[in-house]
Amino acid sequence: ETGVTQSPTHLIKTRGQQVTLRCSSQSGHNTVSWYQQALGQGPQFIFQYYREEENGRGNFPPRFSGLQFPNYSSELNVNALELDDSALYLCASSLGGVKVGGELFFGEGSRLTVL
Amino acid sequence: EDKVVQSPLSLVVHEGDTVTLNCSYEVTNFRSLLWYKQEKKAPTFLFMLTSSGIEKKSGRLSSILDKKELFSILNITATQTGDSAVYLCAVLYNTDKLIFGTGTRLQVFP
């Protein structure tokens, strides 16, 4: 148990739809990162939020957007879903990163299937 | 382009065998290298390596980093069926952003 919770755990959407995934970070953590893990691949960095502001973004199109709330929970939104968006979406929380050397605590993930 | 490469991609062994997993990297602004074990969904943290040549151990697992040659190895001795998982290597850059390799899938049979 890492104290990071994600919802929903599984969901199925069709192409063109929109999806919102949610993440509650571990208590006291102010940084949330989102990763996409396609089948048979390692996780890929989508973006990170630190104290409600985006703090870095990976190579993902603008239809991937996010939000962090004052309680440091976070949402990942994906618009105009494509088949290739099918993946496990992992949320990871940390406390500002540098001080603790970057140990991230991962949630169990949300598995998205796009038909 | 920053990259992390793991080998082998897949490994099948019998209980009691010793395995070595490899991870090489080319990442600017390198801070640390981390190993994770992923059994079903959430990767679980194993080791973080920052300095060259210092072995980290946890039970039957150990790992070491070579910052000159830009690689790390993860050793598992006396493997057990419970070690079956995907082992992910990741490099921490900037603050707390990670670049992952594709992972090594380890299967341990009785």
- Give me the tens of pLDDT residue by residue for chain B, a chain 110 residues long: 899 999 999 999 999 999 999 999 999 888 899 999 999 888 988 999 998 999 999 999 999 999 999 999 999 999 999 999 999 999 988 766 889 999 999 999 99
Cβ neighbours for B95, distance < 8 A, ≥ 6 positions apart: A31, A50, A55, A56, A96, A97, A98, A102
Flag if B100 and A103 touch (Cβ within 8 Å): no
Flag if B90 and A45 touch (Cβ within 8 Å): no
Antiparallel, parallel or unpaired: β A87-94 and A19-24: unpaired
User: Closest to B48 (Cβ–Cβ): which among A42, A98, A103?
Assistant: A103
Q: pLDDT at position A2, please?
A: 72
Flag if B42 and A90 touch (Cβ within 8 Å): yes
The predicted model gives A82-102 an average pLDDT of 79
Q: 10 Å Cβ neighbour count for A22?
A: 17
SS3 category, A42 = coil
pLDDT band at A29 (very low <50, low <70, confident <90, very high): confident
Q: Is the dihedral of CA A43, A80, A73, A54 positive or negative?
A: positive
Q: pLDDT at position A94, please?
A: 82
Structure tokens at A49: 């939020």
Q: If you search the block for the tokens 């992390």, which residue do you land on?
A: B4
End-to-end CA, chain B: 41
Q: How far is CA A59 from CA A12, A99, B29, B82, B100, in A?
A: 24, 26, 18, 35, 14
pLDDT at A37 over 90: yes
Distance CA B62, CA B46 (A): 9
For the CA atoms of chain B, what is the radius of gyration? 13
Q: Of A1 and A59, which is predicted with more confidence? A: A59
Mutation pick from A1, A21, A93, A104 vs chain B, by most beta carbons of B within 10 Å, is A104
Q: pLDDT at position A100, please?
A: 47
User: Closest to A56 (Cβ–Cβ): which among B48, B88, B97?
Assistant: B97
